[in-house]
Every structure is written in C-alpha cells, then in structure tokens.
Structure 1
Amino acid sequence: MSATYEKLVDLLVTHFAVEREKIRPDATFEELDLDSLFLVELLLVLQTELDMELADDAVNRTDTFGHLAELVEGRLGVTP
C-alpha cells in the first residue's frame, strides 16, 4: 500500500477509533459503520492533517476506502 493509504488508515484509527484490521481498500464506509456525519468530519481532518480540501460530496457511504485513497493521492499529485 502507498504512504498516503497508510496515512489515511492512521487517521481513521487515531481520530475515529476504527479498528485497523477492518480497514481494507475494498471496504465501504458503510461496511465500516461510518455515517454521513463521519464523512464530514473526515473531510475536516483531511483539510487539517493533509492541508487539502475536498468537496463535501467527494465521498459517500458507498464509496470504498481505496477510492478515498486514490482521490486524495490525485489531489496531492502522488502516484500510487
């Protein structure tokens, strides 16, 4: 996995108490029991921790964690 992916895993674990073992690239936020309020909070954390902004509707509950990682890497200009 990429450094960005690992950073996102760390953010979920430390800021949202998600069990590291549950986080997989193909896991949806819904499968991780994370609601729409979580997604708003996550975008705020990304803005603070990674100094980047994503639109409020950039991710939804049915998106996968891998999709988020790709989206963030694209915004940061990182190649996976």
Structure 2
Amino acid sequence: MTPPLSLVHRLLVEDCAADPSLVPPESELAGFSLDPLLAERLATALDRHCPLVLPEETKSAVRTAATAGQAAELVQGFPYVQLLDLLIERCGIPTQDLSPEADFTQLDIDSLHLVELMVMAEERLDMQLPDHGADLRRNITLREAAALFRAESDEGYAESDAYAKPAAG
C-alpha cells in the first residue's frame, strides 16, 4: 500500500500551522520529524477530515509518531484516507472541500477521471471493486465510494462499518 503522503503534507501545512518553509516536499516527507505537538495536531486534523474513519488506537498511534512517514503508514489501509490522498495528489482538491458527504460531481470530477481514480485506489489498496465498479457514479459520496472497497473478509459488514474498517492486505 502507498502511504498517503499528499494528504499528510497538505494537513501539516494547512491545518497544523506548520511553517510551509520548514515542511519538506512530499517526496522527502517520510523522514520529516514530528514533535509531540505537531503529531497531536496531525492526529486532530486527520480526525477532522476523516470523521468516524480512524479507530482510537490509530489516532493514539499517530499522536506518538516520530515522523510524518510513520503517521502516513498508520492510516494507509483505510480506503477513505487513500481516496482523499488521491483527490489531493491527482486533482489538487483543497482539504476543506473534502468531506464524507461530498460527491464527485461537487468536486468537479468527470466520469473518466473518476474511473482513473478508482483504478489507482484499487492498486493502492491491492483490492478490486465488487462487480467491476458497477456502483460507481459521479453522484456517489466519498463515504459511499470508500465503502465500495471491501476485502472478501469484510463481506457481511454494514456500509458504515466498511467505511471505517481498514482494507485487508
């Protein structure tokens, strides 16, 4: 899986009051040291942008992460987090526009770009969309899109559970 460094970078700069001149570019972010206050702010920002997604133990682990790379690795298995990262990285969507109830139409993502994003998400999460993505539509919310990604072991969970459950793999 790919650590969501684009999301972590954007949150550090936009939400955590980190000096942009001190935060390295995404390509060098993995080794960026987090002091306890910055790690706490990052956990709070992740919780704000990913409500109901991260379990308490993951948020606690982010609060004690020594580097931005460690923090990103802790949240990389969550489909919703990966979707946010792709929307930031590939589409330049501002974090304030990303919420679980935002749909792809509101984010100005056309159908072709949506299919490309989902293929990238499948690759990142090492899983396939059920029914070849037949439920994928522009009016689907980010929460619903994340719930489409289910490992075989996740079958039987309610959609709200799938939204919060990390991908197997």
TM-score, normalised by the number of residues in structure 1:
0.80
Q: Does 1:67 align with 2:147?
A: no
Q: Does 1:52 align with 2:137?
A: no
1:14 is matched with: 89
Q: Secondary structure at the match of 2:82?
A: helix
Q: Secondary structure at the match of 1:44?
A: helix
Contact 2:82/2:124, CA 8 A, preserved across alignment: no
State the distance in 1 between where 2:115 and 2:146 align. 16
Q: Secondary structure at the match of 1:45?
A: helix
Offset from partner CA, 1:7-49 (integer Å, 9 cap, x none):
3211211122222211111111100000100111012101211
Q: Does 1:33 align with 2:33?
A: no
2:7 is matched with: none
Q: What's the offset of the Cα at 1:57?
A: 2.5
Query: For the pair shown, which has the larger CA radius of gyration, 1 or 2?
Result: 2
Which deviates further from its counterpart, 42-51 or 25-34?
42-51
1:43 is matched with: 118
Quote the RMSD (CA, aligned, Å): 1.8
**Can you give the 5+ residue segments of structure 2 that lack an aligned partner in the other structure?**
1-50, 54-74, 165-169
C-alpha distance 40-11 of structure 1, shift in aligned 2 (>3 A): same
Question: Which fold has the larger relative contact order, with Cα–Cα distance below 8 Å and residues 6 or more apart in sequence?
Answer: 1
**Can you give the 5+ residue segments of structure 1 that lack an aligned partner in the other structure?**
none
State the distance in 2 between where 1:36 and 1:57 align. 13
State the distance in 2 between where 1:19 and 1:59 align. 22
Count of aligned pairs: 78
TM-score, normalised by the number of residues in structure 2:
0.42
State the distance in 1 between where 2:92 and 2:134 align. 23
